[in-house]
Amino acid sequence: MSTLILVRHGQSLWNLENRFTGWQNIDITAEGIKEAEHAGKELSGQTIDIAFTSTLIRAQHTLDIIIAQCKLQNLPVITASQLNERSYGSLEGLNKAETAKKFGEEQVHIWRRSFDVAPPDGESLKDTYNRVIPYFKKEILPYLLQNKNVLIVAHGNSLRALIMFLEELNVQEIVEREIPTGKPLIYNLNKQSLEKLQIATGGR
């Protein structure tokens, strides 16, 4: 048995301001710090052998707080750009409500919630899936197969891609899935479920 823990970073400044963030390196707010502390308290006492996070500060800051709360100062941490948030391209930095007024609510909804339609110069969720899952299978799954407990602190869409893979969700199910900030999602994986992940295809 091994455990995989997924945590979306705490509220960021641009979450608060309702802006498209994507690959922009925006830190968490005071509320985001509280969410990270709460996640750490929830995970206190949980055995964690290694952690993975993105190259973006909001995820790294959240992980640092969790590590401090759980007193895991010697925890190995690996950062990877493959776990970064989905790129929103030309929309990054724009207010979501104002963008809806400019391009129409329906178009913005398609950019935000469709599986395979990317915003201008950005990534679709499918694109994100196609970088997250190969990385997971190559770099993270081997630890789980060794019965290690793994923590991943990342982003709404990179975690949405991973959850799609783990739970075998279809396109409609995953685009409707909300990933709360600072709330640990815990998967207890037995030998059978790990073997299933090992042989699963990496693309959809």
CATH number, span 2-199: 3.40.50.1240
Q: Is the pLDDT of residue 204 over 70?
A: no
Tell whether 170 is in a known binding site.
no
Instruction: Render pLDDT for 151-187 as a digit per residue (tens, 0 to 9).
Output: 999 999 999 999 999 999 999 999 889 999 999 999 9
Amino acid code (one letter) for 135: Y
The separation between CA 73 and the C-alpha centre of its own chain, rounded to angstroms, equals: 22
Q: What's the distance, CA 100 to chain centroid?
A: 25
Rounded to 10 degrees, the C-alpha dihedral 66/52/180/93 comes to: 110
Tell me if 63 is assigned to a ligand binding site: no
For the chain, the structural domain boundaries read 2-199
Which residue type does 199 have? I
* pLDDT above 80: residue 32: yes
Catalytic residues: 9, 85
156 assigned binding-site residue: yes
For residue 137, the tally of other CB atoms under 10 A from its CB is 16
Are 29 and 35 spatial neighbours (Cβ–Cβ below 8 Å)? no
Q: Residue 25 is which amino acid?
A: N
- Report the alpha-carbon distance of residue 6 to residue 43 in Å, rounded: 11
Contacts 24+ apart (CB under 8 A), 138-142: 139/52, 139/78, 139/80, 140/52, 141/194, 141/197, 141/198
Q: What integer best gives the mean pLDDT of the chain?
A: 94
In the DSSP assignment, the letter for residue 26 is P
Distances (CA, A) of 106 to 40, 70, 93, 125, 201: 38, 43, 20, 17, 32
Confidence of residue 191 (pLDDT cuts 50, 70, 90): confident
94 within 8 A of 14, measured Cβ to Cβ: no
Residue 10 is assigned to a ligand binding site: yes
Tell me if 8 is assigned to a ligand binding site: yes
Query: For tokens 């776990």, what's the residue?
Result: 83
CA distance 38 to 44: 10
Other beta carbons less than 10 A from residue 114's beta carbon: 15
- Judge whether residue 202 has pLDDT over 50: no
Q: How confident is the model at residue 192 (pLDDT cuts 50, 70, 90)?
A: confident
> Coil, strand, or helix at residue 142?
helix
Which 3 state secondary structure label does DSSP give 203? coil
pLDDT digits (tens, 9 = 90+) for 56-107: 999 999 999 999 999 999 999 999 999 999 999 999 999 999 999 999 999 9
pLDDT tens for residues 104-146? Answer: 999 999 999 899 999 999 999 999 999 999 999 999 999 999 9
